[in-house]
Amino acid sequence: MFCVVYSFRVKKGLETSFENAWKELTETIFAHANSNGSRLHQSKGNEYIAYASWPDKKTWKNAASKLPENSQIISKKMKDCCTDIQSVYELDLVHDLLKN
């Protein structure tokens, strides 16, 4: 398994719009690009942290080519809510003790 950790700084007042766009984009990626899904957490203030799980790094790298055209519109909505977006970590799984 391969995971990516993202950091988002969201413009004040746009938290709900960001969360909705993130959810819509994540559901689209899950449906079309073979991801294992993602989780979004709010950190301090307007900082959010998400981590996305993938079967492997290759699947993650090829995800954009599998998405429908409307995903670009959703992605832009999400990005327009942010002042900064970073891929903080790219991680290969060593041990998995997370319980559902």
Mean of pLDDT values over 38-55: 96
Q: pLDDT value at position 58? A: 97
Using CB atoms within 10 A of its CB, is residue 50 exposed (0-12), middle (13-18) or buried (19+)? middle
Contact yes or no for 84/11 (Cβ under 8 A): no
Domain formed by 2-92, architecture? 2-Layer Sandwich (3.30)
| Model confidence pLDDT, tens digit, residues 1-42 | 999 999 999 999 999 999 999 999 999 999 999 999 999 999
Contact yes or no for 25/37 (Cβ under 8 A): no
Q: pLDDT value at position 98? A: 84
Structure tokens at 90: 């790219």
**CA distances, 83 to each of 1, 8, 90 (Å):** 30, 8, 22
First CA to last CA distance, the chain: 16
Domain ranges of the chain: 2-92
Structure tokens at 74: 């959703």
Structure tokens at 41: 């957490």
Res. 100: pLDDT tops 90 = no
- Tell me the percentage of the chain whose pLDDT exceeds 90: 94
